[in-house]
A and B are shown apart, each in its own frame.
Chain A
């Protein structure tokens, strides 16, 4: 292998500007996107005007269903796709026109895209070699990253000898070793089974916090997005629906799409309102400071169930139609008139109502969220 590797030391004509490498880690870089548009063919709109600022050192997640444009956005950041219109800058430098190999951005691909004809070591050294770093420097940095990611004994293996989790780690290390301004991750954990996945989520988070690098993470899994992110952007139809910290996006979704995508089903039409009094398909409810919008969101975990008929503010009589006992908590389907309401009760050892029981649903005015379709 070393033969073919040394053969091209001379062909550095088109090598990108080499970044100073002995410096520890540079400052993390922010990302600025303005009016990014992208369409494929005549009628597939992938991005329809994306304005977004990602802070330096942030773990930022692009969340959305497949076809929402999140991967296209990531590929535009990497330079693998050109935007039809709009501006993109990283660390204050406009890079809209810069080809991928000259961007200080590295990607962890969904399929990992490791090179099967190279050893793990040569995979890790690939970027450094393409930038024309001397062999000694490459070896030192590969050794350092291998230790950092804890894969020291794997470096002399061939890619096909590795398990899925190991490949994922190598793909991460292959990108990190270049110490890019920004690391892009395209659903990097989606090919792994649940156990390994949550283990690597923790590890990825640890790596990001230790390096303080800007991470842009793409996923369709809202749980994963909430666990990992400093901030989340929810995309649909090539448009950013909401940007915010996980708690904001989950607890205060701005529209029905975000609410449904974050896993909320308790959405009810508001038919009339008088100050803080809302008339909904569930009945009359008192909200603390309702915003605009004609939909009411009630999160299942904010509900309380009282046995029997109890009257009071925001007390609704209901009947239990279904109960899923989950150990730590139980999920309920409740019938209120013709509408169905879902509720989650933590199992604190108290009485859990049974199917058929008559109960009273209680919801605090401050837990009611209004939003628009």
Chain B
């Protein structure tokens, strides 16, 4: 009996030690999240429901004025400008993500068909550009797409753009910039999905009366779906909130929600309006994530596709 008493007290002492240990390991991260994520988010929420004061800073009393402004109601009546920005953001995100999928899918597949020793190098080539600062890369595109550059002259010659317009600034330049920027985020998860795939399964599908096209749709594509969904989340969410690329390549015409929010804060114009815009982005993102989960569940045969 005495013996068991000893073990019990030892165990409870161990548990105390363990929970203290847990506290030490969790505390730094938790503090970080609370100070830099939870508190600012809460503050942002608060600001969105306050009035716009002098120099654009938030003031009491609480009001829904920012959301009215966001919806387009201003001093001069209703204008669709902000809604355009919202839809342009959604549209740009959709188009860019779609194009990224179309470009990344064959790249990822191609890398898996390479010899094993070349694969890390190929992947490195995909990733290396993102080691350079995003702003610098985007400036690079400005130089490539500006009026008079070979690419612009070519587009002019083919009749895609009017003379001396240049490919930049334009919505096209923004899309291109987004696709270029987010490509690695799609290639990597897709590559991971392709690599797990046993090529014998493609042969099995063909052996079981599937034409090459149907073998792809029924045997290959469903298995790359988790990678595709993960890539879509990694691309679409940051693209939706993108600030640098539309700012530099859109030339004021291609403004996205991220630019709207940034102007309200940086320009000192209207903090509550900027905060309301940020909340709108957050809501749109959550809706998007939820939709992806639903799609993943349905296509994954009821199996949870982890995003």
Residues B193-223 near A (CB distance < 8 A): 198, 200-201, 203-215, 217-219, 222-223
Contact with B along A118-144 (1 / 0, CB 8 A): 110000001100110000000000000
B159 is an interface residue with CB less than 8 A from chain A = no
> Bound complex: CA of A109 vs CA of B201, how far in Å?
9
Q: How far is the CB of B239 from chain A (nearest CB, A)?
A: 27
On chain B, the residues within 8 Å of A119 by CB distance are 301
A213 is an interface residue with CB less than 8 A from chain B = no
Assuming the A-B contacts A80-B206, A101-B209, A117-B223, are A14 and B214 also in contact, with contact meaning beta carbons closer than 8 angstroms in the complex? yes
Cβ–Cβ contact B204 & A113, under 8 A:
yes
On chain B, the residues within 8 Å of A127 by CB distance are 208-209
Cβ–Cβ contact A115 & B207, under 8 A:
no
Cβ–Cβ contact B210 & A130, under 8 A:
yes
Contact with B along A76-116 (1 / 0, CB 8 A): 00111000000000000000000111100111011101111
Assuming the A-B contacts A3-B298, A115-B219, are A101 and B211 also in contact, with contact meaning beta carbons closer than 8 angstroms in the complex? yes
Cβ–Cβ contact B214 & A106, under 8 A:
no
> Bound complex: CA of A105 vs CA of B298, how far in Å?
33
A370 is an interface residue with CB less than 8 A from chain B = no
B300 is an interface residue with CB less than 8 A from chain A = yes
> Bound complex: CA of A106 vs CA of B207, how far in Å?
6
Cβ–Cβ contact A101 & B210, under 8 A:
yes
Which chain A residue lies CB-closest to B202? Answer: A113
Q: How far is the CB of B196 from chain A (nearest CB, A)?
A: 9
Cβ–Cβ contact B208 & A106, under 8 A:
yes
Which chain B residue lies CB-closest to A174? Answer: B208
On chain A, the residues within 8 Å of B244 by CB distance are none
Q: How far is the CB of B297 from chain A (nearest CB, A)?
A: 11
Cβ–Cβ contact A16 & B209, under 8 A:
yes
Cβ–Cβ contact B301 & A117, under 8 A:
yes
On chain B, the residues within 8 Å of A16 by CB distance are 209
A328 is an interface residue with CB less than 8 A from chain B = no
- Size band of the interface chain A makes with B: 35 or more
Q: How far is the CB of A97 from chain B (nearest CB, A)?
A: 15
> Bound complex: CA of A126 vs CA of B302, how far in Å?
18
A236 is an interface residue with CB less than 8 A from chain B = no
Q: How many A-B residue pairs have CB under 8 A?
A: 91
A11 is an interface residue with CB less than 8 A from chain B = yes
Q: How far is the CB of B200 from chain A (nearest CB, A)?
A: 4
Which chain A residue lies CB-closest to B208? Answer: A127
> Bound complex: CA of A110 vs CA of B205, how far in Å?
15
Residues B139-190 near A (CB distance < 8 A): none
Q: How far is the CB of B282 from chain A (nearest CB, A)?
A: 31
On chain A, the residues within 8 Å of B126 by CB distance are none
Among A80, A131, A158, the residue within 8 A (CB) of B209 is: A131
A168 is an interface residue with CB less than 8 A from chain B = no
Cβ–Cβ contact A178 & B214, under 8 A:
no
On chain B, the residues within 8 Å of A158 by CB distance are 303
Q: How far is the CB of B193 from chain A (nearest CB, A)?
A: 11
Which chain A residue lies CB-closest to B213? Answer: A14
Cβ–Cβ contact B198 & A113, under 8 A:
yes
Cβ–Cβ contact B211 & A14, under 8 A:
yes
Q: Which of A8, A16, A118, A126 has the most CB of B within 10 A?
A: A126
On chain A, the residues within 8 Å of B299 by CB distance are 4
Seen from chain B, the residues whose Cβ lies within 8 Å of a Cβ on chain A are: 198, 200-201, 203-215, 217-219, 222-223, 225, 298-303
* Top 5 A-B pairs, shortest CB-CB distance: A127-B208, A113-B204, A113-B200, A130-B209, A1-B301
21 contacts between A and B (CB under 8 A): A8-B218, A14-B211, A14-B213, A14-B214, A79-B207, A80-B207, A100-B207, A101-B207, A106-B207, A106-B208, A107-B207, A111-B198, A115-B219, A117-B225, A117-B301, A118-B301, A126-B205, A126-B218, A127-B209, A130-B214, A178-B209
